[in-house]
Amino acid sequence: MTDQRPGPSAVSGDGLKDCCAAAYSSDVVALLLGDSYHPGGTALTRRLAEGLRLTESGRVLDVASGRGTTALLLADTYDVRVDGVDYSPANTAFAQGAASTAGLGDRAAFITGDAEGLPHPDGIFEAVVCECALCTFPDKARAAAEFARVLVPGGRVGITDVTAVPDRLAPELTGLAARIACISDARPLSEYSRILAAAGLRTVRTERHNQAMTRMIDQIEARLNLLRMTASAKLTAAGVDLDAAPAVLAAARTAVADGTLGYALLIAEKSP
Ligand SMILES: C[S@@+](CC[C@H](N)C(=O)[O-])C[C@H]1O[C@@H](n2cnc3c(N)ncnc32)[C@H](O)[C@@H]1O
């Protein structure tokens, strides 16, 4: 819903990552989305964690860790050591501060980096998680190869992400703003599996959670309506196009209802 009109092809590679990271660093986005920047929130993160076979001594990497909500939940609930990496320095700093505030500074550490070139050595994590972000990465195959590289043999990757049937997306859902909103470059669940398989990660579980997408659309609409009255200048300054937002939200709701858009959980394993 940010008002940056060029089509997604006009911005590519690092430019796209910069746009995405800047959007998800804004306080207005935090007001719209809450702590977890993905449909399903922490409940879906817990569901994902159940499939990862985490052990107390294990290390977990949260790729595109945002403000640290997923990583801190895993460190706190499963007693694992979690490293978070995000393209946005502001998010990294926020997450590190949240870790200290929560008394988890010894078990959660955050650095700024790129999912397509992770700044971590080979084979050190028993699990990699990536929530609502693979859909935004320009080179998904490279990111998947990086997930595989940093995993130990037999390690698992847990993904929750937007799914889409790209050639059925309405025009409102295909611009740069929709790309940043995790929609326009989302792929069908089967394609995510294929991308992971090509990197040596075999899918062992998939689940559809499309209703979580609808709930997030409802939440954004309700909060936008509130903020429109109290903070419209802030929204506009952050690039939110208040005039376009209702049509984008309506198109997204229709797309979920007819199966064009959805949200899914996927767990894949690196061969032992
Ligand atoms: C929709 S948010 C999801 C954040 C978090 N995973 C969550 O679910 O709360 C997408 C995040 O991906 C980050 N991001 C975008 N491109 C990235 C890249 N190439 N490498 C690492 N992080 C990236 C953004 O900065 C943003 O924090």
Condensed to tens digits (0 to 9), the pLDDT of residues 48-87 reads 999 999 998 799 999 999 999 999 999 999 999 999 999 9
For 129-140, what is the mean pLDDT?
Answer: 96
**Ligand 1 atom closest to Cα of 85?**
21
- Residue 45 Cα to ligand 1 midpoint, Å, equals 15
Tell whether the model's pLDDT for residue 162 goes beyond 70: yes
Neighbours of 242 (CB within 10 A): 15
One-letter amino acid of 190: S
Instruction: Tell me how far CA of residue 17 lies from CA of 20, 114, 118, 235, in angstroms.
Output: 5, 9, 14, 21
**Banded pLDDT at 31 (limits 50, 70, 90):** confident
Distance CA 45, CA 67 (A): 14
Strands 201-208 and 125-131: unpaired
Calculate helix-pair angle for 41-50, 69-78, nearest 10 degrees.
50
Question: pLDDT by residue (tens digit) across 169-201?
Answer: 999 999 888 888 899 999 999 999 999 999 999
**Banded pLDDT at 11 (limits 50, 70, 90):** low
**Ligand 1 atom closest to Cα of 91?**
27
- Calculate the average pLDDT of the chain: 92
DSSP symbols for 5-44: -S-GGGS-HHHHHHHHHHHTT-HHHHHHH-S--STTHHHH
Distance CA 177, CA 180 (A): 5
One-letter amino acid of 141: A
Measured in whole angstroms, the distance separating CA 19 from the mean position of its chain's CA atoms is 14
pLDDT of residue 259: 97
Q: Kindly report whether the global pTM for this prediction surpasses the value 0.85.
A: yes
Measured in whole angstroms, the distance separating CA 123 from the mean position of its chain's CA atoms is 23
> Which residue's CA is minimally distant from atom 27 of ligand 1?
66
Which single residue is written with the structure tokens 């804004």? Answer: 26
For 200-214, what is the mean pLDDT?
Answer: 98
For 108-123, what is the mean pLDDT?
Answer: 98
Tell whether the model's pLDDT for residue 260 goes beyond 50: yes
